[in-house]
Amino acid sequence: MKLIDINKVDVYFKDKLVGHLFDNGDSTHSFSYSDNWLRNGFSISPFKLPLEKKIFTCSDYLVNGMFGVFYDCIPDSWGNKLIDSFLSKQGIDIRKVTLLQRLSLLDKYSLGGLSFKPSFNEKIDISSINEFDKVYKKIKLFLNEDIVNDLDLYHYGSSTGGSRPKINYLIDNNLYIVKFPSSLDPLSIGEDEYKMNLLAKECGLDVPDCKLLNSKITNGYFLTKRFDYDNGEKKHVISLAGLFDLNPSLSQIHYLGFLQTVKTLCPEDLKEAVKRMIFNYLIDNKDDHPRNFSFIYDETNKKYRLSPFYDITSTPKINIHMMQVNGKDNPKLNDFIVDAKKVGLTEKEVTEFYKKLKSKVKQFSKIITK
Ligand SMILES: Nc1ncnc2c1ncn2[C@@H]1O[C@H](COP(=O)(O)OP(=O)(O)O)[C@@H](O)[C@H]1O
Ligand SMILES: [Mg+2]
């Protein structure tokens, strides 16, 4: 079967059939769980696809009629650019490639634990990556010329999310993401993101292991350990956008919605969530859209938990935060208190978090500007 003919995919989680996803041909999609998954599995999207024997239909035009949990798996601008270029080179008209067909193109390192069959991308090889400056040179060439000149870059990066160039990187059965500057970024972007991750860690936030990789042509490349891939085993992940079938680039949810979601799914993570909200404002991380917050399914305890914190960067060039606090673009301590109180935290707790985080951020800015 050709890619272009596919209008149905089987959805798997670690070799177990989860269900079937159909392209209805009218910009809507339908999904149903398999009987076996209904008996032994879990809801892959607890608000939109509860574990029930029925045919769900998604007609929300904002995410192209695709369920958020599957839309999450489809790469953003970076991965899609690589895929489009790869397909165009084979003479395929990319305007005709549907979202469902894009799920068939994902490789085994795609985000989260879901996979889709038929698959057109099983023979992926990322074992040969060793020189990151070389990879960055290929990326620059690709960004300038818009065509994939060799298959390496496509293999390394086509299933990664986000807009900044990035690749998957495997060491001893552990998977990492390495991020590179986009054509708009300063060459210090990797170092900046690394420092922000160190600061978040210093503030006691849950941050994946990370490193700054040496480079002769930039200030270094940011490497982060994949939290959805533990010793070769994949985990199911769904973003805040995915949970509610939201378009990740629109401000359709704010911090209160995020906190209420955390309270519903994993109240034990509420304090961490409140701290991330305050931290993002203190460090000026305005790229706080709902794909930059995720939840992981914990199979042992059979529940969702807040994922580690990721994509932590200061974004002075962006005007306003994607998510407001208490309806404000420039919230003060009292606004953090108002939203956090609505989910059960006390004024005293929030004030304490705010003061501690503020003093750490201040100390840190002194160190890095020295
Ligand atoms: N450490 C990580 N583990 C697992 N997934 C991650 C990790 N860091 C980022 N991601 C996923 O990759 C996507 C893109 O990464 P991100 O850092 O947000 O890149 P960008 O700066 O391009 O937005 C995220 O939306 C998230 O789904
Ligand atoms: Mg991001």
pLDDT above 90 for 22: yes
Residues 6+ apart with CB under 8 A from 362: none
With bands split at pLDDT 50, 70 and 90, how would you rate the model's confidence at 365? confident
Q: Which of 3-17, 49-63, 233-247, 315-329 has the lowest mean pLDDT?
A: 49-63
Please tell me the distance between residue 109's alpha carbon and the centre of ligand 2 in angstroms. Answer: 17
Residue 226 CA: nearest ligand 1 atom is 3
Cβ–ligand 1 distance for 177 under 6 Å, the answer yes
Query: Tens digit of pLDDT for each residue in 175-232?
Result: 999 999 999 999 999 999 999 999 999 999 999 999 999 999 999 999 999 999 988 8
| pLDDT value of position 95 | 94
Residues 40-69: what's their mean pLDDT?
Answer: 92
Q: What's the per-residue H, E or C state across the chain?
A: CCHHHCCEEEEEECCEEEEEEEECCCCCEEEEECHHHHHHCCCCECCCECCCCCCEEECCHHHCCCCHHHHCCCCCHHHHHHHHHHHHHCCCCHHHCCHHHHHHCCCCCCCCCEEEECCCCCCCCCCCCCCHHHHHHHHHHHHHHCCCCCHHHHHHHCCCCCCCCEEEEEECCEEEEEECCCCCCCCCHHHHHHHHHHHHHHCCCCCCCEEEECCCCCCCEEEEECCCEECCEECCEEEHHHHCCCCCCCCCCCHHHHHHHHHHHCHHHHHHHHHHHHHHHHCCCCCCCCCCCEEEEECCCCEEEECCCCCCCCCCCCCCCCCCECCECCCCHHHHHHHHHHCCCCHHHHHHHHHHHHHHHHHHHHHHHC
What's the rounded Cα separation, in Å, for the pair 84 and 167?
Answer: 16
Q: Which residues of 293-322 are buried (b: 16+ CB within 10 A; e: fewer)?
A: bbbbbeeeeeebbbbbbbbbbbeeeeeebb
Residues 146-158: what's their mean pLDDT?
Answer: 80
Nearest CA-CA partner of 215 in 229, 194, 246, 245? 194
pLDDT above 90 for 367: no
Mean pLDDT of the chain: 93
With bands split at pLDDT 50, 70 and 90, how would you rate the model's confidence at 67? very high
Cβ–ligand 1 distance for 337 under 6 Å, the answer no
Query: Tens digit of pLDDT for each residue in 111-128?
Result: 999 999 999 876 777 777
Residues 6+ apart with CB under 8 A from 369: none
Residues 6+ apart with CB under 8 A from 41: 13, 16, 18, 33, 51
Please tell me the distance between residue 5's alpha carbon and the centre of ligand 2 in angstroms. Answer: 32
| pLDDT value of position 68 | 95
Residue 310 CA: nearest ligand 1 atom is 8
Cβ–ligand 1 distance for 224 under 6 Å, the answer yes
**Percentage, residues of the chain above pLDDT 90:** 82
pLDDT above 70 for 245: yes
From 81, 164, 177, the mutation candidate for ligand 1 (largest count of ligand atoms within 8 A of CB) is 177
pLDDT above 60 for 9: yes
| pLDDT value of position 151 | 79
| pLDDT value of position 315 | 93
Report which residue type is found at 95.
Answer: R
pLDDT above 70 for 141: yes
Cβ–ligand 1 distance for 161 under 6 Å, the answer yes
| pLDDT value of position 173 | 83
Cβ–ligand 1 distance for 163 under 6 Å, the answer yes
